[in-house]
Structure 1
């Protein structure tokens, strides 16, 4: 599906057809239908901002879209059209959808696949399933952090480091729900970014503060307060989550962003405070992405023919990362990777990031009426 952005693409010109967008003149102005690549200049002559889709009027499948077309403005929609019927669908703010006149294109190639719109109703069941999985994950997290708390208070550094990793990875598997966690995410898994005091800043709390203390040989007694606060914050999140709601747009969006963030922060070790477990975190992030893909699969399968390719790259990237886990269960730090190992991991995660990118657009909930 061609998605138009708020820039003028190469080749746009005054000769490209100007399509009127308003309640009274949706889709007017397409007088010379033709197949192949082309640009429509969408001009909002109405009084309110509008979304615009180019659809098959019979099936509703989308072949192009522009969001947030302001009144009085003109923006391009760049598309490649095959043989078939098309119409512009205008979705003005606070108004029902209007479908313009049908135009038939012929004399070109067979039409490529479009995307059937995903509605809020389509996402109700996936969201319900995902929220149930997050609830289970938070239960597991509370248990894991309880074991971590016991180990720290016993003064057992080795057991504390081991249970820290178990608990931290449990949290890292919940990535698509972080926005619903609100301020709790910063308290539980925040870094020193933006903190003037760095690792000594009183607002540096949670997993990474405890990681810093454990792996920098801070006195175990002094870490009791840190782990107590972490346990309290986890319990607060666990109690609050049933009253929260994961945004329907976050499922598809986060499937891509989780891996993108891992590439930016974990594979560069920017979030390493001493444990050297960034590759384990990245692997847990992939588990989180897999959970999202599983709950979205009924929505994605009929809309994304390349989904099997995503599955293949997920398996390939998981296997690559698993190679960094040693027989004793410890993980190779990013800094200890050989050049070929680093290149392989970065290449696989980068490719997976690219293959996940379309899912954000496909699973975005859209108005159709």
Structure 2
């Protein structure tokens, strides 16, 4: 069997164990393929995440400040895309992606690790000195995450709910610029969240498109509005890999312009589980 066929079979088995009934007009078996395809998406992003994290942490351990700074944002994108699944492992999510505000002693707290601890050193202190232990811990945590996800049966309700959760996070904390407060690479994170949310919506859209075409059109229009705003700040319009300008250069007007469609997206996508009977 192909990897996709194996995942479809595993997803079907997992759905058999669901206790909550789906809506009468949504066949539970119809959820099998999108859940399996989403797991493939997550595994592909995890594979890239591991590879990019390895390069990122090697640059830190080698003392190459400029390279480490340049790899920070593009490495995080893969995590931001799959955050709904990563957050199933609260211990790893905390050690990989917690912010200094989550700790009583802030940046001086010994439990503060992960990307944002490294961000503080690389962009605030502008040095790699003393960061090697944090780099090794990050690499270990990312490897652990990949290992745990391999054998995970994806809960359909969690997968579908992830579309809204990603947009809610952008609206609640990221538009303010507090996520990447030292590197100002927030737009990379926005794009990762949007990518992940769009993927979930695209996979499950066929199950609701005929019943509620107006909903589908509204969600797609708002995704397009967010993408258009992000595109305005790309370093190269024809090269998505080139990334974005510093978030400091995003005007207040465009920050406000992002809030509207992101908030509406979060609200609309929060109804997706109900539409699918989850």
Q: TM-score, normalised by structure 2?
A: 0.83
Could you list the per-position Cα deviations for residues 104-158 of structure 1 after superposition, in whole angstroms to 9, with x for gaps in the alignment?
xxxxxxxxxxx75445433222111111211111111000001101211221211
Query: Runs of 5+ in structure 2 lacking a partner?
Result: 1-18, 237-241
For 2:175 and 2:277, the matched residues in 1 are separated by 28
2:15 matched residue in structure 1: none
* Cα deviation, residue 342, structure 1: 2.1
Q: Which residue of 2 aligns with 1:346?
A: 259
Q: Is the 8 A contact 1:179 1:246 kept in 2?
A: no
Alignment correspondent of 2:58: 150
| Cα distance, 1:286 vs structure 2 | 0.4
Structure 1 Cα separation of the partners of residues 27 and 137 of structure 2: 40
Q: Greater relative contact order (Cα 8 A, min sep 6): structure 1 or 2?
A: 2
Counterpart for residue 245 of structure 2: 331
- For 1:180, what is the secondary structure of its paired residue? coil
Matched, 1:254 2:168: no
- C-alpha distance in structure 2 between counterparts of 1:338 and 1:179, whole Å: 31
Determine the C-alpha separation between the residues in 2 that align with 1:177 and 1:303: 28
Q: Does the 8 Å CA contact 2:65/2:126 hold for their aligned counterparts?
A: no
What is the CA–CA distance in structure 1 between the aligned matches of 2:204 and 2:257, rounded to whole Å?
28
Q: Is 2:139 the counterpart of 1:231?
A: yes
2: distance between equivalents of 1:234 and 1:128?
22
SS in 1 for 2:145: helix
Out of 150, 155, 164, which is 1:242 matched to? 150
CA contact (8 A) 2:160 2:272 kept: yes
258 and 117 in structure 1: CA distance in 2 versus 1, 3 angstrom threshold: farther
Confirm or deny that 1:140 pairs with 2:48.
yes
Give 1:226-305 correspondences, 5 Å limit: 226-305=134-213
Distance across 2 between alignment mates of 1:298 and 1:351: 21
Superposed counterparts of 1:52-71, under 5 Å: none
Pick aligned residue for 1:124 from 14, 17, 32: 32
Q: Is the 8 A contact 1:175 1:258 kept in 2?
A: yes
> Residue 152 of structure 1: SS of its match in structure 2?
helix
Which shifted more, 356-365 or 148-157? 356-365
Is the 8 Å Cα contact of residues 83 and 166 (structure 2) preserved in structure 1?
Answer: yes
Q: Is the 8 A contact 1:181 1:241 kept in 2?
A: no
Greater fraction strand: 1
TM-score normalised by structure 1 residue count: 0.63
Name the Cα RMSD after superposition: 2.4
Deviation per CA, 1:321-351, whole angstroms, max 9, x where unpaired? 2212334744231x54323222222223223
Number of equivalent positions? 254
Q: Which residue of 2 aligns with 1:308?
A: 217
Cα 1:363–1:182 change in 2 (3 A) is farther
Question: 1:180 and 2:93 equivalent?
Answer: no
Contact 1:116-1:303 at 8 Å conserved across structures: no
Distance 2:86 2:133 in 1: 24
Task: Tell me which residue corresponds to 1:67.
Answer: none
CA distance in 2, matches of 1:117, 1:204: 47
Report the CA distance between 1:169 and its aligned residue. 0.9
Deviation larger for 347-356 or 223-232: 347-356
Matches within 5 A, 1:10-25: none
**1:38-74 CA distance string (max 9 Å, x none):** xxxxxxxxxxxxxxxxxxxxxxxxxxxxxxxxxxxxx
Aligned partners of 2:187 and 2:244 also within 8 Å: no
Deviations 1:69-89 (A, max 9, x none): xxxxxxxxxxxxxxxxxxxxx
More helix by share: 2
